[in-house]
Amino acid sequence: MMDPTADAGTAVATLADAIRVRLRRAPRDTLARWDAPRRALLARHLGFEPAAPIPVVHVIGDSHVLFFCGTPGLSKVRFRRFGLFKPDYLSRGVELLPCFRVFHLGPATAWQAFEFRSTTRSREKLESLLRRDVAHDQPVLLSYGEIDCRCHIPRAVLAGAPIAQAVERTVTRFMRLPLDLQARGFRGAVWGPPAVTAQTAEDKDPHHPLPEVGPLALRLEITRAYVGQLQAQCARAGIPCVCLAERFLAGAHSMMAESQIDGCHLSQGMMPVALELLQQAGVLTFCREPQ
């Protein structure tokens, strides 16, 4: 178990370093040797000791999946190569929480989620995981849409499209993917855009700045409409949908920024909330360890 007297941040960083080194050498490792500290970290977020076996959810999609690793930053390793002349990689997250298997497809968008031969090859990477790594009885949590709400939909709106129309077209186009998984017998669920990008000049990485289109107020309105449309379409299809962004849409800019590590991606301070919402949606079910 983690040493309860040790500094929590140091213990997490040490665990992340050890797992990262192992996954670079063996990307398919089960991480069984770290079961005890990983379960201890999960228990800290849950507020109770979960009983074995720990349920597992495969979280797949854009960079927001890396939140589910449980690391303070965005930590991943190469998992599988795609392409010969222009190689691209499917990445695995450095998973500190035993209830999540995390796979980053690249900057995947909701608009292109169902399409093959996109620039990110996100559909090909997803199909590879579904064939080789995901069992039908394990939930698949799809994370797409934040890039659309930050860039593509605002661009369409500024060009004259009504917000409701631009959002509805994007969500309807995306929903082909979870509906397809559902028809094929997978236990699909959807993780909506987790927050609205609230970057400041100080937040931005000068080497990898995140593009934004339009003012924050517009992106807030678009994200609010997107979340509502996504939840409505998922409800009609009987597909679980978890949208943590609802906690921020009526809040202040400072509240969003405090819950993010870089003005965009969620901090681990939001993990207890995410676990609670996933349990409420039936995506995760934990039993308490008997006292």
Tell me, what's the pLDDT at 216? 85
Does 227 score more than 90 pLDDT? yes
Does 251 score more than 70 pLDDT? no
Q: Which tens digits make up the pLDDT trace of 11-24?
A: 999 999 999 999 99
Give all domains of the chain, ordered by start, each with its CATH number: 55-280 (3.40.50.1110)
Does 123 score more than 90 pLDDT? yes
Mean pLDDT along residues 167-180: 98
**What residue spans of the chain are helical by DSSP H?**
8-25, 35-46, 122-132, 146-147, 153-158, 163-183, 216-237, 246-249, 253-258, 271-280
Give Cβ neighbours of residue 29 (< 8 Å, ≥ 6 apart): 22, 23
- Per-range mean pLDDT, top range of 213-217, 253-257, 262-266: 213-217
Mean pLDDT along residues 45-67: 96
Tell me, what's the pLDDT at 158? 97
Tokens in use for 257?
């920024």
Tokens in use for 289?
């360890």
Residue in the block written with tokens 């939840």 = 231
Q: Which tens digits make up the pLDDT trace of 92-109?
A: 999 999 999 999 999 999
Tell me, what's the pLDDT at 198? 62
| Residues making up the chain, counted from first to last | 291
* Average pLDDT, rounded, for the chain: 90
Distance CA 107, CA 94 (A): 18
Does 260 score more than 90 pLDDT? no
Q: Which tens digits make up the pLDDT trace of 191-203?
A: 999 866 765 545 4
Tell me, what's the pLDDT at 9? 82
Tokens in use for 17?
């370093």
Tell me, what's the pLDDT at 262? 81
